[in-house]
């Protein structure tokens, strides 16, 4: 039996209207303590308004070796990117 | 007793308790069992010292002799401190520290709940600010007490030992003297005994969930908040906390 607490990935929403962003990971015995630990470790300087935690083992990730087949085909398809429009200055940052 | 003299004394009791406990908790910095707890304990210590700045700052103003919070913190000797004795007790193991923290957090949450409505607005304002921090402290320390008490055989035994060792130090929270009586009559502070039922309810709920047995004793060590008699450990703590200001008076960064 492992004496290590499970690893949790931490996602914090910086302000209302923004998405939760991955900020890091930490160890905790359960989800409630993981949220408390995230509060202490990642929001000390008023970074967040909402915290999500998920146990790292529940995250399914793509494999680095899939990089070629997964992503390279889209590089050659410039028409998928909306880069052919002139954005009026009045629009501001998009 | 004269009102401002009582208020000064009472503010020392509040500010010294948070100062001494904050200093104690800060001793864990770099030594806690896991990184997450290390950071959380440091946050708690900083919250307590932040509250100290407010309480002792107001104490200096009320006293009117030109002493600020730093002066009061670093240029008084052990017999001038008015902290609860439980705050100066040594840390022991991590479980012991968290048990002491929970017993104090529960007390502070009830006390600040009362002081938020105090008839002295400067006291009420500080209590309002500190109450938000303390609401988190008591939730965190309470969960840890439950987790360790209702944990393994070893963690349960350590938490029961911590509770038994600390129990004689909780009674001082609920004893009063002329200081509290004067302020209670003016609506500025509660009669400490009136805080006990709410504290008991919080503590018994958490200790019950932690499968711990509340000691059947009301014996209480006294003398911290009156300054009559501190434990030996306070002197050692102050020697570490104050040496720089004593060796190099008024040194600044």
- Domains in chain B: boundaries: 3-247
Residue A66 pLDDT level (bands cut at 50, 70, 90)? confident
The ipTM of this complex is 0.77
| pLDDT (tens digit per residue) in B79-104 | 999 999 999 999 999 999 999 999 99
Single out the residue of A40, A41, A47 nearest to residue A20, CA to CA: A47
Determine, for residues B36 and A29 on separate chains, whether the beta-carbon distance falls below 8 Å. Answer: no
Chain A residues with CB-CB distance to B140 below 8 A = 36
Q: How confident is the model at residue A47 (pLDDT cuts 50, 70, 90)?
A: confident
- The CATH number of B3-247 is which of 1.20.1260.10, 3.50.50.60, 3.40.50.920, 3.40.50.300? 1.20.1260.10
Yes or no, beta carbons of A28 and B147 under 8 Å apart: no
- A vs B, Cβ pairs < 8 A, gives 29
- Of B42-46, B75-79, B170-174, B247-251, the range with the lowest mean pLDDT is B247-251
Q: What is the pTM for the complete model shown?
A: 0.89
Q: Helices B153-166 and B121-149 sit at what angle, rounded to 10 degrees?
A: 140
3-class secondary structure, A77: coil
The answer to whether residues B94 and B119 touch, using CB atoms and an 8 Å cutoff, is: no
Pick from B25, B29, B34, B36 the residue to mutate for testing the A interface (most A CBs within 10 Å): B36
- Give SS3 for A85: coil
Better pLDDT: B116 or A65: B116
Count Cβ atoms below 10 Å from residue B184 Cβ, excluding itself: 16
**Rounded mean pLDDT of B133-139?**
96
Write down the mean pLDDT value for chain B. Answer: 96
**What are phi and psi for residue B37, nearest 5 degrees?**
-70, -35
Cβ count within 10 A of residue A13: 16
Q: Is residue B30 pLDDT above 70, yes or no? A: yes
Which residues neighbour A19 within 8 Å (Cβ) at sequence distance 6 or greater? Answer: A13
């Amino acid at each position: 039996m492992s004496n290590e607490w499970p690893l949790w990935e931490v996602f914090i929403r910086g302000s209302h209207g923004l998405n939760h962003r991955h900020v890091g990971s930490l160890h905790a015995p359960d989800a409630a303590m993981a949220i408390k630990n995230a509060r202490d470790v990642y929001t000390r300087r008023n970074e967040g308004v909402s915290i999500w935690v998920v146990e790292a083992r529940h995250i399914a990730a793509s494999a680095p070796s899939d990089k070629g087949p997964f992503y390279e085909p889209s590089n050659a398809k410039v028409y998928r990117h909306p880069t052919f429009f002139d954005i009026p200055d009045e629009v501001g940052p998009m | 007793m004269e009102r401002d003299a009582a208020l000064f004394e009472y503010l020392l009791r509040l500010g010294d308790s948070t100062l001494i406990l904050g200093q104690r908790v800060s001793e864990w910095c770099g030594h806690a069992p896991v990184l997450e707890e290390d950071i959380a304990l440091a946050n708690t210590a900083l919250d307590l010292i932040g509250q100290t700045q407010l309480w002792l700052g107001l104490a200096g103003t009320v006293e009117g002799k030109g002493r600020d919070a730093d002066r009061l913190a670093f240029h008084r000797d052990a017999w001038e401190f008015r902290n609860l004795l439980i705050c100066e007790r040594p840390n022991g193991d991590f479980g012991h520290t968290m048990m002491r923290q929970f017993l104090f957090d529960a007390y502070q949450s009830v006390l600040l709940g009362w002081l938020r409505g105090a008839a002295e607005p400067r006291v009420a304002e500080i209590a309002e600010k500190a109450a938000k921090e303390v609401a988190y402290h008591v939730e965190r320390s309470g969960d840890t007490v439950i987790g360790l008490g209702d944990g393994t055989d070893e963690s349960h035994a350590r938490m029961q030992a911590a509770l038994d060792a600390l129990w004689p130090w909780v009674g001082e929270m609920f004893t009063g003297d002329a200081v509290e009586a004067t302020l209670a009559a003016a609506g500025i502070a509660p009669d400490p005994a009136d805080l006990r039922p709410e504290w008991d309810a919080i503590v018994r709920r958490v200790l019950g969930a932690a499968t711990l047995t509340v000691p059947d004793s009301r014996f209480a060590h006294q003398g911290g908040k009156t300054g009559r008699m501190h434990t030996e450990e306070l002197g050692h703590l102050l020697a570490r906390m104050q040496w720089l200001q004593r060796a190099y008076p008024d040194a600044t960064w």
